[in-house]
Chains A and B, each alone.
Chain A
């Protein structure tokens, strides 16, 4: 038997290329676009209706999300209890919600029960009744949730951070207050539903394992005539505020055992040609377990259980955010180390070895985006809603493979100067009382 040399890493291969799963597009009889990914070996499906119009379009806070959630609380045919019973009976999992620019109504279901579950969805979308009693119960629950969230330093800090970045005059920075819960009424939900939940405004995503009869069923259910009238578009346009956001805010929470730190700024989004470069900088800094922030603040100093950075897109803007919960005693030191890491990536060249690791992490991360039919569909939509295609990923791979340490430093210089950051600390850190 040969003797193993355990000190040397076995040979390995480059990260394999992505096998894109491009959804099929077809039009239902009424013109709604249906995007479908027929893949996987399990008899399960995800069906989702996406309507243009989310929190950006609402006239008052909470309307978009409450409209979506309340669809399951009663229709002309079914009571809230009956809806819940039926969905549970088929072992399905509904998903209802609103984002900044869209609202969604969906379900995870066994393929064999799609004919039943899709009818429940249809009823919810076509004729919800927004009953008062259920509405009151939901609002009371949400108010309780609001108060519980206010006990979390992470919630307090993030809320303040987005307010500082985008201002409360802009939907991206608008924060919900207690009075908003109290002022909301079902008339507003009816109105929002009327404006946005209609066929003109709808796209449908279907992923999983299905056959033609299921496509036909989708067409029968949502593809007949133009349902629910004409669509409105978001009727108000908001300008992203110009401030460069370098505030430093401290919010004390007496009983907190840790302090949350949020540091970041407004950022270009994925439609911008520099986005991929900044994303690579972000990955080195805080985008994976081996990132510099994680290595420094957790693995080297033990200040925190977790720290990460992210760059996120919104339709009209984007943001960069570093977030962590640290021990109160070391909060100031943690801040110093975070800024030191930002400075370092702006001033020093990344080593070839480190860059190699980061490249492979990014390529592997991309491979994961296309793992399974649900992932592939979600990835497709994350492009489609920005009017982008999978070309973005080809481009990404090319940039990742070619980028040099100098270019990385230049991206950091251009976009991530530590003096351009907004900082929020919430908690009970040592040495902040005099600020």
Chain B
């Protein structure tokens, strides 16, 4: 049982505190409830570009990094389609510097056109480094708009195109800040060797004067049910053919989520998993095969991706995947395998607790979707999933008309 304390400020800022006396550092995680799904279709990549700007100076503090570095602290952030997450950690004694910095950039930003221009360049290089200059790196950029036609998950967090990033203006950015970076749109979680009362006093001191803001209520279009199988073929300068199949699945709080997650483990988590054993070890059709889900808050995707062994025909490879999916649709998962994937869920959860940073992040992200208490109930939900529930979701998800397939072909030399 992981114990934590919840506290809410008058301005709506939600606070979660967990004591961990094994670390000399304190980890401060700030989650803002804004992600790339909140962007407008002609200004994509914005939530992430904005994340970069959060380090470029706030209303009272011209430089975010130096004051943190001088107290021995470090920080970073990431953005996904659902939210933006910042973390800072410092030796426990110096927690106040971290709260001073984090609260000031919630209060207001103060950066120049010049800094915006530089960060646009940095993000464009990140775009290339992470997606375009990597073998197979653009596959996920292509797959999303195949699967989503209406919902904003159709563009990637890095942006639908580099042009949107190039076109961003200072006004756009300011507007985005006041819309979303509000205390009532944020969750602050802190893990470390802290005294609860003293920490709350410090939080009150630095955050309570930040005013509540009007955050627009999220109204996202629901992705219509896919009625026909979709396919696309691209040819790239890569050494081997690849295949990506994306199926629509459930949202994060759907009761069927856990069965779906376990199904992905049965198929591909670990070397003993079904697909790895059959397709890599036995039939030698793929050099690697993976089945995973985007555990996004709204209805996400279940993706199967594989790299073909040299000389294997694409039709044969796709058929082999289909056989594996048919197997899990038609035959019930045996008890041993079910225990195995459940054991792995339990052990992965225990190992995740090594990292206080991970704990702070997990508390905040659970708070966002349904309450930080989920940290103590999620594993239990996995343990109650039955083999027939896995079969049910397999039959519901793995339907031909629910699938978008990307054939990623190697250019013939």
Measuring CB to CB, which residues of chain A are less than 8 angstroms from any residue of chain B?
A: 4, 6-7, 9-13, 15-16, 19, 39-44, 72, 80-81, 84-85, 87-93, 108-110, 134, 137, 140-141, 144-145, 147-148, 150-153, 255-258, 288-290, 298-306, 325-327, 356-357, 360-361, 363-364, 367-368, 371-372, 374
Question: B272 on the interface (CB 8 Å rule)?
Answer: yes
Query: In the complex, which residues of chain A have a beta carbon less than 8 angstroms from the beta carbon of B128?
Result: 257-258, 325, 327
Q: A108-B351, A144-B307 are in contact. Are A13 and B122 (CB under 8 A)?
A: no
Tell me the chain B residues, 282-316 only, with Cβ under 8 Å from chain A: 284, 287-288, 307, 309-310
Q: Give CA–CA (A300, B120) in the complex, Å.
A: 12
Query: In the complex, which residues of chain A have a beta carbon less than 8 angstroms from the beta carbon of B120?
Result: 302
- When the two chains form their complex, are residues B70 and A372 in contact, meaning their CB atoms are under 8 A apart? no
Closest Cβ of chain A: how far from B329's Cβ, in Å?
A: 22
18 pairs from A and B in contact (CB 8 Å cutoff): A15-B71, A84-B272, A88-B269, A88-B272, A89-B343, A109-B347, A134-B281, A140-B287, A144-B309, A148-B239, A255-B237, A289-B75, A290-B65, A303-B121, A303-B125, A305-B126, A327-B124, A364-B72
Q: A16-B24, A144-B309 are in contact. Are A9 and B122 (CB under 8 A)?
A: no
The stretch that binds A, out of B5-13, B131-139, B169-177, B399-407, is B131-139
Question: B228 on the interface (CB 8 Å rule)?
Answer: no
- When the two chains form their complex, are residues B240 and A148 in contact, meaning their CB atoms are under 8 A apart? yes
Question: What are the 3 A-B residue pairs with the smallest beta carbon separation, nearest first?
Answer: A91-B347, A302-B121, A364-B72
Q: A148-B238, A298-B122, A301-B118 are in contact. Are A89 and B339 (CB under 8 A)?
A: yes
Q: Which of B133, B209, B307, B339 contacts A325 (CB 8 A)?
A: B133
Q: Give CA–CA (A406, B102) in the complex, Å.
A: 36
Q: A152-B135, A289-B74 are in contact. Are A325 and B129 (CB under 8 A)?
A: yes
Tell me the chain B residues, 307-351 only, with Cβ under 8 Å from chain A: 307, 309-310, 336, 339-340, 343-344, 346-348, 350-351
Q: A257-B128, A372-B23 are in contact. Are A110 and B93 (CB under 8 A)?
A: no
- When the two chains form their complex, are residues A371 and B24 in contact, meaning their CB atoms are under 8 A apart? yes
Tell me the chain B residues, 77-93 only, with Cβ under 8 Å from chain A: 91, 93
- When the two chains form their complex, are residues A360 and B272 in contact, meaning their CB atoms are under 8 A apart? no
Question: B247 on the interface (CB 8 Å rule)?
Answer: no
Measuring CB to CB, which residues of chain B are less than 8 angstroms from any residue of chain A?
A: 22-25, 59-61, 65-67, 69-75, 91, 93-94, 96-97, 100, 104, 107, 117-126, 128-130, 132-136, 205-206, 209, 237-240, 269-273, 277, 280-281, 284, 287-288, 307, 309-310, 336, 339-340, 343-344, 346-348, 350-351, 353-354
Closest Cβ of chain B: how far from A129's Cβ, in Å?
A: 16
Q: A81-B277, A257-B133, A357-B66 are in contact. Are A300 and B270 (CB under 8 A)?
A: no
- When the two chains form their complex, are residues A9 and B100 in contact, meaning their CB atoms are under 8 A apart? yes
Q: Give CA–CA (A118, B206) in the complex, Å.
A: 51
- When the two chains form their complex, are residues B310 and A144 in contact, meaning their CB atoms are under 8 A apart? yes
- When the two chains form their complex, are residues A42 and B69 in contact, meaning their CB atoms are under 8 A apart? no
Q: Which of A6, A42, A80, A289 contacts B354 (CB 8 A)?
A: A42
Q: Which of B74, B287, B343 contacts A90 (CB 8 A)?
A: B343
Given A16-B93, A305-B122, A305-B126, 10 additional A-B pairs, CB 8 A: A81-B272, A84-B271, A91-B343, A145-B287, A256-B133, A289-B65, A290-B66, A305-B130, A357-B66, A367-B25
Query: In the complex, which residues of chain B have a beta carbon less than 8 angstroms from the beta carbon of A90?
Result: 343, 347
- When the two chains form their complex, are residues A374 and B281 in contact, meaning their CB atoms are under 8 A apart? no
Q: Give CA–CA (A92, B344) in the complex, Å.
A: 8
Q: A144-B310, A302-B119 are in contact. Are A88 and B96 (CB under 8 A)?
A: no
Closest Cβ of chain B: how far from A308's Cβ, in Å?
A: 13
Q: A81-B272, A140-B287 are in contact. Are A4 and B67 (CB under 8 A)?
A: no
Query: In the complex, which residues of chain B have a beta carbon less than 8 angstroms from the beta carbon of A44?
Result: 350-351, 354
- When the two chains form their complex, are residues A147 and B240 in contact, meaning their CB atoms are under 8 A apart? yes
Q: Which of B61, B69, B205, B340 contacts A4 (CB 8 A)?
A: B205
Interface centre among A39, A80, A148, A300 (most CB of B within 10 A): A148
Query: In the complex, which residues of chain B have a beta carbon less than 8 angstroms from the beta carbon of A258?
Result: 125, 128-129, 133
- When the two chains form their complex, are residues A6 and B97 in contact, meaning their CB atoms are under 8 A apart? no
Q: Give CA–CA (A72, B281) in the complex, Å.
A: 13
Query: In the complex, which residues of chain A have a beta carbon less than 8 angstroms from the beta carbon of B354?
Result: 40, 42, 44, 372, 374
Query: In the complex, which residues of chain A have a beta carbon less than 8 angstroms from the beta carbon of B70?
Result: 12, 356-357, 360
Q: Give CA–CA (A357, B65) in the complex, Å.
A: 10
Closest Cβ of chain A: how far from B324's Cβ, in Å?
A: 16
Q: Which of B96, B136, B344, B351 contacts A12 (CB 8 A)?
A: B96
Q: Which of B61, B130, B134, B350 contacts A110 (CB 8 A)?
A: B350
Query: In the complex, which residues of chain A have a beta carbon less than 8 angstroms from the beta carbon of B287?
Result: 140-141, 144-145
- When the two chains form their complex, are residues A91 and B281 in contact, meaning their CB atoms are under 8 A apart? no
Q: Give CA–CA (A145, B70) in the complex, Å.
A: 42
Query: In the complex, which residues of chain B have a beta carbon less than 8 angstroms from the beta carbon of A15?
Result: 71-72, 91
Q: Give CA–CA (A15, B90) in the complex, Å.
A: 9
- When the two chains form their complex, are residues B69 and A360 in contact, meaning their CB atoms are under 8 A apart? yes
CB-based nearest B residue for A354 = B66
Closest Cβ of chain B: how far from A87's Cβ, in Å?
A: 8
Query: In the complex, which residues of chain A have a beta carbon less than 8 angstroms from the beta carbon of B239?
Result: 144, 147-148, 150-151
Closest Cβ of chain B: how far from A78's Cβ, in Å?
A: 12
Q: A91-B348, A152-B135, A258-B133 are in contact. Are A4 and B209 (CB under 8 A)?
A: yes
CB-based nearest B residue for A43 = B350
- When the two chains form their complex, are residues B125 and A304 in contact, meaning their CB atoms are under 8 A apart? yes
CB-based nearest B residue for A147 = B239
Q: Give CA–CA (A10, B130) in the complex, Å.
A: 38
Query: In the complex, which residues of chain B have a beta carbon less than 8 angstroms from the beta carbon of A16?
Result: 24, 91, 93
CB-based nearest A residue for B288 = A141
Closest Cβ of chain A: how far from B282's Cβ, in Å?
A: 9
Query: In the complex, which residues of chain A have a beta carbon less than 8 angstroms from the beta carbon of B281?
Result: 80-81, 134, 137
Q: A10-B96, A305-B125, A357-B70 are in contact. Are A364 and B340 (CB under 8 A)?
A: no
